[in-house]
Amino acid sequence: MSNQIKPRRSVLYMPGSNPRALEKAKSLPADGLILDLEDAVAVDAKEQARSLVAEAVKAGGYGNRELIIRINGLDSEWGEADMKAACEAGPDAILLPKVENADMVHKAAEMMKRFDAPEKTKIWCMMETPRGMLAAQEIAASSEQMTCFVMGTSDLVKDLHAHHTVMRLPVLTSLGLCMLAARAENVDILDGVYLDLDDDESFRASCVQGLEFGFDGKTLIHPKQLAGANETFGPSLSELEFSEKIITAFAEAEAEGKGVVLVDGKLIENLHVENARRLVSLAAAIQQLEV
């Protein structure tokens, strides 16, 4: 469960079997990189991808970007070897696919202990099946090591026999269940991918919708999507200026024994100040990431 604010505006999937992509990722303006051993890797390339990703993480050179290794399912023929290699490499997190209950997280945590994963390596969970949606709360509360939900909306739409729509009404219940569970347990949550690389306007709209839903950022499938996600999920200059004004004004009001204050004609209470502080902290974390 997460206490420290970390920028996760843009988290880009990178195929683990592509050395060129792994090298290129070092210069991309992504907050995080998911080095993928699962969906993006063909069956006959699984072992090669595992070695490439482990070596890339160990070698470093990715700056302050978060590095996440998505392994194959622990019940697959590659799962245990993936987990062992990931633990030895020591990324920021290991992403478990198709998590459907707390026991799957417990099993991963036990394996990470057995394979001597460093303390910094956390567990992230792909939320992408109907069972996962119905167990979101128990998964979110499963372990102190579990710090982030990643929505797998493509698999979810398939399993629901639903359709991809602009407003995403077919998955609204699922997104809401995961959002409620994540916020209740202080876990970060990332929106699913947008698949149409030729429709920039709709991609931007999907980012805005994700922000309005409450997501911390968006998972991406191509570097061309980075700028839109970073801009949407990062606080704007006007938001930061107003946040600073709120924080200062409320502190002055509190010193005078007042619980509310007017700022630019808007009634400000403690809940507004908490959000303002969150935005200021996020901006500082983003600035540190870009150093």
pTM for the predicted model, two decimal places: 0.95
Are residues 263 and 220 part of one domain? Answer: no
Q: What is the mean pLDDT of residues 260-271?
A: 91
Specify the pLDDT at position 224. Answer: 97
Q: Are residues 129 and 246 in the same domain?
A: no
Confidence of residue 165 (pLDDT cuts 50, 70, 90): very high
Closest of 156, 157, 124, 154 to residue 140, by C-alpha: 124
What does the pLDDT look like over 62-71, one tens digit per residue?
999 999 999 9
Structural domain harbouring 281:
237-289
Residues 250 and 114 in one domain: no
Residue 259 pLDDT grade (very low, low, confident, very high; cuts 50, 70, 90): confident
Q: Average pLDDT, stretch 178-197?
A: 97
User: Would the pLDDT of 227 be above 80?
Assistant: yes
Q: Evaluate whether residue 4 is within a structural domain.
A: no
The verdict on 222 and 274 lying in the same domain is no
The CA distance from 137 to 150, in Å, is: 14
Same domain membership, residue 39 and residue 71: yes
Domain count, the chain: 2
Considering the domain architecture, whether residues 167 and 248 belong to the same structural domain is answered as no
Q: Are residues 131 and 263 in the same domain?
A: no
Domain at 97, CATH number: 3.20.20.60
User: Do both 126 and 246 map to the same domain?
Assistant: no
* C-beta atoms surrounding 130 within 10 Å: 12
Q: What is the pLDDT of residues 235-247, one digit of tens each?
A: 999 999 999 999 9
Mean pLDDT for the stretch of residues 179-184 = 98
